[in-house]
Amino acid sequence: MLELTKTPVPEAFSPLELDSKSESDLDALPFGVIALDAPGVVRRYNLYESRFARIDREQVLGRAFFAEIAPCTRVDSFEGRFRRFVSSAEPGRVERFDFVFDFKFGAQEVSVEIVRPFGGDLFYLLVNRKRLMPPRPGVPQKMLPPVQRELAPREAEIGVRRDALERRRVDVSVPFFAALRATCERLSPEAWPLFAHEWGVQWGRRTAVDLESTSLEEAGKSLADLSMRDMVSSLTAHLAEQGWGHAVYDFALIRDGIVMTEVERSALAEAVGARVDVSGPRRFTCHLLAGLFAGVLSHVASRRLVTREIACVSAGSPTCRFVTVAAERRKALDRALSEGRLGLDEVRESLRRARTSSEAITNDGV
């Protein structure tokens, strides 16, 4: 049975436990994380901070934060505060303050927490963006942080492409996914759903960060502050821009705890093509997109959600269709799909019966 990666969105967070978190854990956090050693050299740098500073973490790690990466922080209210914190702070201490980062592309009003976890030698800067602004006049050029092309000046010459927000891009043709699917099917036929879905969840988490940064840049709002229509439009445009197909979201069943997504011209399904030998949901193709939807919607809802494909072009359907439900309903959803109940009305009825049975058991005191 297909299982979902745990904690796509952190439900509880303790800054004093940062040393025990993996890089993937840090990348899932909805704020910037910069870990410095006592001299101020960058040792850890998460995805959120990378997106908002528009610098790849590979160009940041091992560099002096105050001198090389963020010279705008070379003031007593930031670097001076950090030096005093390092010299006097006992493990377990947290200090908070407000600051304005000045970049060449604009200014960012932030709140910062300096944290020293128990038992570690690193000091963490937790950076929450409060407001994005145009560049502030009068800031000396020497105080502005470098941009990606200044830290890696030869990138364009050696085949590295970036978009307007300095995010790296790679153009991949549809046959790439056909080859990936065929390889997985040859080596481990049953692994494709789990592998692709888990990959999609990770992709969804990172896509949510991209959408978050774009929303703050363009609308001054986080994804959670957008209307559902605007959030959906943002994700739809993002997928269409990258060539994945056209996604349409249906929230008519939201009171039943179901979000339905339909994708027209799915690149993944068309990469495989229609198959006449398929039977059951395990033979569907677009598990990668299912994971993506779960990752993004979990971020917006601040709770764990799961997404499953219930119809696929590769299995003869005119479009690919997905349903998203709360994680606690995953087993009921998977059971319905494994029994061949693939219609939306069938799925809804199966989930309704499962919920009714669960409530009856609870009411009986079991």
Q: What is the pLDDT of residue 282?
A: 46
List the domain boundaries for the chain.
31-162, 174-363
pLDDT at 357: 55
pTM above 0.95, yes or no: no
- CA distance from start to end of the chain: 26
Query: What does the DSSP assignment read for 115-169?
Result: E--TT-S-EEEEEEEEEEEPPPTT--GGGSPPPHHHHSTTGGGGT-EE-TT--EE
Characterize 333-365 residue by residue with b for buried, 16 or more Cβ atoms within 10 angstroms of its Cβ, and e for exposed. bbebbeeebbebeebbebbeebeeeeeeeeeee
Q: Cα–chain-centroid distance for residue 59? A: 21
DSSP-assigned beta bridge partners for residue 249: 261
pLDDT given at position 283: 63
- How far is residue 232's CA from residue 244's CA, in Å, rounded to a whole number? 15
What integer pLDDT is reported at residue 274 of this predicted model?
63
DSSP notation for 245-302: -EEEEE-TTGGGT-EEEEEES-HHHHHH---SS--SGGG-STHHHHHHHHHHHHHHHT
**CA torsion through residues 158, 161, 167, 173, sign:** negative
pLDDT of residue 356: 62
Rounded distance, CA 49 to CA 184, Å? 34
CATH class of 31-162: alpha beta
Rounded to whole angstroms, the Cα distance separating 25 from 46 reads 9
**Which parts of the chain register pLDDT below 70?**
1-12, 89, 274-283, 356-366
pLDDT digits (tens, 9 = 90+) for 258-294: 999 999 999 888 887 765 454 444 467 899 999 999 9
Query: Yes or no: is domain 174-363 CATH 3.30.1380.20?
Result: yes
What's the CA gap between 256 and 264, in Å, rounded? 24
* Residue whose pair of structure tokens reads 């969840």 in the numeric block: 201
Same fold, 31-162 and 174-363: no
pLDDT per residue over 99-123, tens digit each? 999 999 999 999 999 999 987 899 9
